Amino acid sequence: MPSKSYSGQRASWGLKLASVAALLFLHVPILIIFLYTLTPDEQTFTFPLPGITFKWFGVALQRPDLWRALTLSLQVAAVATLAALVLGTLAAAAVYRSNFFGREAISFLLVLPIALPGIVTGIALRTALGTYDISFSYWTIVIGHATFCVVVVYNNVLARFRRMQGSQIEASMDLGANSFQTFRYVVFPNIATALLAGGMLAFALSFDEVIVTTFTAGQQTTLPIWIFSQLSRPRDRPVTNVVAILVVLITFFPIFFAQRLSAQNSDIEGGSK
Amino acid sequence: MLIRVSTYLYQRPKLVLSLLLGPPLIYMVVVYLGSLFNLLVYSFYYLESFTGLIVREFTLSTYAQIFEPANRDIFIRTAGMAMAVTIADALIAFPLAYYIARFSSPRLKTWLIIAVTIPLWSSYLVRVYAWKLILAQEGILSWFIRLIRLDGVLEWLLSFESIGGSSLALSPIGMFIVFAYIWLPYMIIPIQTALERVPNSLLEASSDLGAKPLQTFRTVILPLSFPGVVAGSIFTFSLTLGDFIVPLALGNSKFFIGQAVYSYQGTAGNIPLAAAMTMGPVVIMIIYLLVARRLGAFDAL
Amino acid sequence: MTDQSKPAIQFENVSRHFGAVKAVDHADIEIHDGEFFSLLGPSGSGKTTCLRMIAGFDKPTEGRIYLYGQDVSDLPPFERNVNTVFQDYALFPHMNVGDNIAYGLMVKGVSKPERLKRVDEILDLVQLKGYGDRKPSQLSGGQRQRVALARALINHPKVLLLDEPLGALDLKLRQQMQVELKAIQQRVGITFIFVTHDQEEALTMSDRIALFNQGRIEQVGSPSEIYEHPASAFVAGFVGTSNLISGELAKRVSGKMGTFSIRPEKIHLGSVDVNVSPDSYSADGVVRDVIYLGLYTRYLVQLDGGGEVMVIEQNLKTTSMDVLKIKGQRARLHWKKEHTHEVGG
């Protein structure tokens, strides 16, 4: 492990040990679920495992309720992401291009749904639905998810706008491109990867969200809701393990690529200077 | 045609601004703030206990209910847990954040940051679920504790009334571990960001002026990274305050705020009381945010 | 369409205010067809704001701007046939050099073969043949500069605006580009409007110069007019170096009250017994400091009765040994009366 720092000092053993311990604490628990997908034990979480079996993956595949939950979660995440992309980009563009009074307030308003505990958003939306007699539907879930997804796209796109060389938009218009052409040929290519990164994060956020969803889903079951019901009243322990792993995998890749994308972009910019 | 629209818009920057800002603002103000405000209004209504119906008349009686001993205990219990979790996370996060910021090569740093941010973004529920497996009586942690022959110590700890319980999963200790685990990434990233901003020249200046490494750490690095700790604590504190998934999943019998709100609005149908109780975390968070801003913690977000 | 008899650019009582700040204050300028015109001034003097208003990025708060007689004050940048070379070049990082240059033609719907042909021609003009496939990040500063120029010129603008385009280049490259830019301007015959804070650059390249100070135009004129006949103390001080004499000293030297400027190279340094011809003024003093600069020597002379004057003399016959001996000695300064300019208060 390279331990030479910029300042040329070496990390002490104590520091390294504490860092490794923190990293293990962050990641080992998830690995334990992987382990448990192989247990033949249906009733308890006995460790060491009494044996090894791969049958639960097959069992999970056969469960129509799981497929329905998965489909619903994917649909909700896709539409919430789309809404977040549009609303977040508009807000970022507005804040970037003008110095209007209250732009701090906009940022604050958008951050609020992730800064306040999820239960606040959840119960507020639930109460509002009750007040106006709106019945639970696919759209009530989407609306709930969009509130906290917008800020993810907003932050990513605004950061990219701020790193974009300022005079590019002026240069484009100066060369005769109208606002729409300027967006298509200059602005969009510049923010495309930020949209991709923000969109993937928003997707992951929505896909495994459970707190707000419990308040806005009614009788519908998303995948996280399905897992949650198993947490309080376990019936299908081994299948739950498989589903948990599925959720981990479905969210891992978008997040991983989004992070790589942001890291790469800052690398490229750093290199060109 | 497009050119005309474009020219028209170019000459009216305020119109463009409102077109851009309109949709997100309308959405957030109408849907989000509107709902929050509606919730605030409900907290001033009350539930007629005899009929079980909500009476839409202004009253402070619902807020008075919060100060009944049972509810007050819930608040104290939750705030205590949030505080303990925040302190524990700060202690666990700092060394790793410090290592990432000061001792890792650029390449390793990228990977370490990814290793920290992936759990931050993903699978909150699955990460709670993992601890259900780990903390189970017949599960891996008990096995490990028996292996290293500390089961006597564990039993002794669980015998305390305030922090103990019938098993690790059902005790506040178990819940504390899960909360600390779940919110840890929210503490690492702001601290790392704050540390990243301490210029090397400052450290060199400090050692040049004769400070030993430990003195430099205490007098320069620690104060300068404190805003990062505060920023991280905003999340760990707020998220613990409002969470109901962890207590429900672990099957704890003593209520926490989130759990209480969940059951008041759900089975009890007492939306006013649930609303009033939610205002607790909201007010605490707003005060917290204001204090944090004065400390300059927002720069580290 | 273009009325050649009208000025290329005309400012009619143009002001631009940002809140309480008067970035440009009642400016009247006329820039002729085919001219190389410089807007010169210290930073914050309003020259860049003027350029941005010509380009269309900013609108005048008051007054009108005409492009060959057409009122363009309210037109967006994409509806006026004016192009800009930006200070930071503003090349599109996601396009290669060829696509950058062809951008203006592309958005106007010029066919691809035509675009390629014209890009080749213009690359030739700016001496970047064969660089079409490179990305801007693979070019040096000077090359990016040429691409920015080519990208603007390919559209045959009526007026080309250059916003401190040489600011980021090192001295050698800068001087080379000054010559090259001037040559290109003469070849294409387009009106160039050049913003700079570098007086030497403005003097070297321009047909005419407008000198800005705090949002106002101090003087408009050819380089020699501005240098030889500065209209104000500010102009005298900003363009080249000048000695200002005023008050009692001015009265003693010239017999008149007022403020006068004399360029240091116009003053001759002689011994105290030298005879001064009747068409010259003179003043005596002590040589306080001598700075030998190879090509010439700079003397600081403390005049009797107050005031310090800088004198520059070419080292035609003298060496550093000779000139350094003068330090501390008394000397008589004299200069032709016609080189003394009254610059007002």
Q: Does A24 touch chain B (CB under 8 A)?
A: no
Q: How far apart are CA B287 and CA A85, in angstroms?
A: 31
Q: Does C18 touch chain A (CB under 8 A)?
A: no
Q: How far apart are CA B224 and CA B203, in angstroms?
A: 11
pLDDT at B75: 86
Residue C257 covered by a domain: no
C-alpha distance from residue C2 to each of A8, A219, C81, C105 (Å): 66, 71, 11, 20
Residue C4, class by beta-carbon neighbours within 10 Å (0-12 exposed, 13-18 middle, 19+ buried)?
A: exposed
Q: Within its chain, how far is the Cα of B12 from the centroid?
A: 43
Please report the ipTM that was assigned to this predicted complex. 0.82
Domain count, chain A: 2
Please say whether the beta carbons of B60 and B44 come within 8 A: yes
Residues B3, C78: C-beta atoms closer than 8 Å: yes
3-class DSSP state of B246: helix
Residues B99, A16: C-beta atoms closer than 8 Å: yes
Residues A165 and A105 in one domain: yes
Distance spanning both ends of chain A, measured CA to CA: 29
Q: Which residues of C touch B13 (CB under 8 A)?
A: none
Residues A39 and A76 in one domain: no
For chain C, the chains sharing at least 3 beta-carbon pairs closer than 8 angstroms are A, B
Nearest to A157 by CA among A205, A72, A97, A71: A97
Residue A13 covered by a domain: no
pLDDT at B300 over 60: no
pLDDT at A3: 37
Q: Does C107 touch chain A (CB under 8 A)?
A: yes
pLDDT at A100: 67
Residues C145 and C199 in one domain: yes
pLDDT at A1 over 50: no
Q: How far apart are CA A69 and CA B140, in angstroms?
A: 30
Q: E strand or H helix at B287, and its extent? A: helix B271-294
Mutate to test the interface with A, among C53, C75, C80, C84 (most CBs of A within 10 A): C84
3-class DSSP state of C159: strand
* Tokens linked to B77: 């219990």
| φ, ψ of residue B171 in degrees (nearest 5) | -90, 155
3-class DSSP state of C150: helix
3-class DSSP state of A49: coil
Residues C133 and C91 in one domain: yes
- Of C222, C238, C254, the position where a domain reaches its end is C238
Residues C104, A175: C-beta atoms closer than 8 Å: yes
Beta bridge partners of C313: C297
Residue B280, class by beta-carbon neighbours within 10 Å (0-12 exposed, 13-18 middle, 19+ buried)?
A: buried
Residues C234 and C301 in one domain: no
Lowest mean pLDDT among A168-182, A202-216, B223-237, C312-326: C312-326
* Tokens linked to B129: 């679920």
Instruction: Give me the total of CB pairs closer than 8 Å, taking one residue from chain A and one from chain B.
Output: 279
Q: How far apart are CA A33 and CA A25, in angstroms?
A: 14
Please say whether the beta carbons of B242 and A117 come within 8 A: yes
3-class DSSP state of C280: strand
CA angle B254/B267/A118 to nearest 5° reads 70
Residue A7 covered by a domain: no
* Tokens linked to A263: 């890291």
CB neighbour list of residue C200: distance below 8 Å, 6 or more residues apart: none
Confidence band of A102 (pLDDT split at 50, 70, 90)? confident
* Tokens linked to A27: 């990641």
4-23 in chain B: CB under 8 A from chain C: 6-7, 10-11
pLDDT at B282 over 60: yes
Q: Which residues of C touch A172 (CB under 8 A)?
A: 92, 103, 107
Residue A249 covered by a domain: yes
* pLDDT, tens digit (0-9, with 9 covering 90-100), for A17-36: 888 999 998 888 888 888 88
Residues B6, C76: C-beta atoms closer than 8 Å: yes
Q: How far apart are CA B154 and CA A135, in angstroms?
A: 49
| φ, ψ of residue C295 in degrees (nearest 5) | -65, -40
Instruction: Give me the total of CB pairs closer than 8 Å, taking one residue from chain B and one from chain C.
Output: 12
Q: Does A170 touch chain C (CB under 8 A)?
A: yes
Q: What is the CA radius of gyration of chain C?
A: 24
Residue of C nearest to B8 (CA): C76
Q: Given C76, C108, C155, which is nearest A173 (Cβ)?
A: C76
Residues C63 and C114 in one domain: yes
Domain count, chain C: 2
118-157 in chain A: CB under 8 A from chain B: 118-121, 123-128, 130-131, 143, 146-147, 150, 154
Residues A175, C155: C-beta atoms closer than 8 Å: yes
Q: Given A18, A90, A115, which is nearest B234 (Cβ)?
A: A115
Q: Which residues of C touch A97 (CB under 8 A)?
A: none
C-alpha distance from residue B72 to each of B44, B79, B90 (Å): 18, 11, 27
pLDDT over 90 for what percent of chain B? 10
Residues A123, B129: C-beta atoms closer than 8 Å: no
- Token look-up 């240098």 returns C227
Please say whether the beta carbons of C9 and C159 come within 8 A: yes
Buried b or exposed e, range B51-65, using 16+ CB within 10 angstroms: eeebeeeeeeebbeb
Residues C167 and C42 in one domain: yes
pLDDT at A5 over 50: no
* Tokens linked to A249: 């995998």
CA dihedral (A247, A249, A253, A258) in degrees, to 10, reads 40
* Tokens linked to A59: 């069992």
Which domains, and CATH codes, for chain B?
A: 70-300 (1.10.3720.10)
Q: Which residues of B touch C74 (CB under 8 A)?
A: 11
pTM of the model: 0.81
Q: How far apart are CA C19 and CA C14, in angstroms?
A: 16
82-121 in chain A: CB under 8 A from chain B: 86-88, 90-91, 93-94, 97-98, 100, 106, 109-110, 112-113, 115-121
Q: What is the CA radius of gyration of chain A?
A: 23
Task: Check which CATH number belongs to the domain holding C111 and give it.
Answer: 3.40.50.300
Q: How far apart are CA C196 and CA C165, in angstroms?
A: 8
Q: E strand or H helix at C131, and its extent? A: none
| φ, ψ of residue A116 in degrees (nearest 5) | -80, 150
pLDDT at C125: 86
Residues C78, A173: C-beta atoms closer than 8 Å: yes
Residues C299 and C191 in one domain: no
C-alpha distance from residue C181 to each of C14, C84, C122, C189 (Å): 29, 14, 14, 12
pLDDT at A270: 36
- Token look-up 């969803």 returns A213
DSSP at A4? B
Q: Which residues of B touch A224 (CB under 8 A)?
A: 125
pLDDT at A271: 33
3-class DSSP state of B193: helix
Residues A105 and A205 in one domain: yes
Q: What is the mean pLDDT of residues A118-142?
A: 88
* pLDDT, tens digit (0-9, with 9 covering 90-100), for C218-268: 889 999 888 888 888 888 888 877 888 877 777 777 777 778 888 888 888
Task: Check which CATH number belongs to the domain holding C296 and give it.
Answer: 2.40.50.100
Where chain C has pLDDT below 50, the residues are none
Q: Does A272 touch chain C (CB under 8 A)?
A: yes
Q: How far A77 CA sits from the closest chain B CA (Å)?
A: 13
Residue of C nearest to B4 (CA): C79
* pLDDT, tens digit (0-9, with 9 covering 90-100), for B28-38: 999 999 999 99
Question: For C320-323, which contacts have Cβ atoms below 8 Å and span 24 or more sequence positions?
Answer: C320/C292, C323/C290, C323/C292, C323/C297
- Of C221, C238, C255, the position where a domain reaches its end is C238
Residues C69 and C140 in one domain: yes
* Tokens linked to A210: 């459970």
* Tokens linked to C38: 């410089």
Q: What is the CA radius of gyration of chain B?
A: 24
Confidence band of A268 (pLDDT split at 50, 70, 90)? very low
Residues A126 and A49 in one domain: no
Residue A216 covered by a domain: yes
Please say whether the beta carbons of C292 and C324 come within 8 A: yes
- Sign of the CA dihedral with C89 first, then C95, C96, and C102 last: negative
* Tokens linked to B89: 């996370």
Q: How far apart are CA B295 and CA B290, in angstroms?
A: 9
Residue A4 covered by a domain: no
Confidence band of A269 (pLDDT split at 50, 70, 90)? very low
DSSP assignment of B163-183 equals: T--SSTTTSHHHHHHHHHHHH
Residues A242 and A165 in one domain: yes
C-alpha distance from residue C249 to each of C222, C283, C330 (Å): 31, 9, 18
* Tokens linked to B142: 């008990």
Buried b or exposed e, range C293-307, using 16+ CB within 10 angstroms: eeebbbbbbebeeeb
Instruction: Provide the CB-side half-sphere exposure for B242 (13 A, CA).
Output: 27
* Count of other CB atoms within 10 angstroms of residue C153: 21
Residues A32 and A166 in one domain: no
pLDDT at B299 over 60: no
Domain that holds residue A97: 64-272
Q: How far A199 CA sits from the closest chain C CA (Å)?
A: 21
C-alpha distance from residue B252 to each of A173, B134, C77 (Å): 62, 16, 66
* pLDDT, tens digit (0-9, with 9 covering 90-100), for B111-143: 888 888 888 877 788 888 888 888 887 878 888
* pLDDT, tens digit (0-9, with 9 covering 90-100), for B7-36: 888 888 888 888 888 899 899 999 999 999
Residue of C nearest to B7 (CA): C76
Residues B278, A240: C-beta atoms closer than 8 Å: no
Distance spanning both ends of chain C, measured CA to CA: 46
Residue C190 covered by a domain: yes
Residues A175, C151: C-beta atoms closer than 8 Å: yes
Residues A18, B126: C-beta atoms closer than 8 Å: no
Residues C189 and C289 in one domain: no
Beta strands, E only, C105-258: 159-163, 191-196, 208-213, 216-221, 243-246
- Of C238, C273, C299, the position where a domain reaches its end is C238
3-class DSSP state of A100: coil
For chain B, the chains sharing at least 3 beta-carbon pairs closer than 8 angstroms are A, C
Beta bridge partners of C66: C10, C71
Mutate to test the interface with A, among C48, C52, C67, C78 (most CBs of A within 10 A): C78
Q: How far A199 CA sits from the closest chain B CA (Å)?
A: 13
Residue C337, class by beta-carbon neighbours within 10 Å (0-12 exposed, 13-18 middle, 19+ buried)?
A: exposed
Q: How far apart are CA C291 and CA C287, in angstroms?
A: 11
Residues C223 and C276 in one domain: no
Domain that holds residue C320: 265-336
Q: How far B38 CA sits from the closest chain C CA (Å)?
A: 40
DSSP at B78? H
pLDDT at B92: 92
Task: Check which CATH number belongs to the domain holding A222 and give it.
Answer: 1.10.3720.10
Residue A1 covered by a domain: no
Interface of C with B (CB under 8 A): 74-76, 78-79
Q: Which residues of A touch B10 (CB under 8 A)?
A: 173, 179
| φ, ψ of residue B41 in degrees (nearest 5) | -60, -45
For chain A, the chains sharing at least 3 beta-carbon pairs closer than 8 angstroms are B, C
Residue of C nearest to B9 (CA): C76
Residue of B nearest to A127 (CA): B39
Q: How far A169 CA sits from the closest chain C CA (Å)?
A: 9
Q: How far apart are CA B158 and CA B141, in angstroms?
A: 15
Please say whether the beta carbons of B107 and B101 come within 8 A: no
pLDDT at B215 over 90: no
Q: How far C81 CA sits from the closest chain B CA (Å)?
A: 15
pLDDT at A259: 80
Residue C330 covered by a domain: yes
* Tokens linked to A172: 């484009």
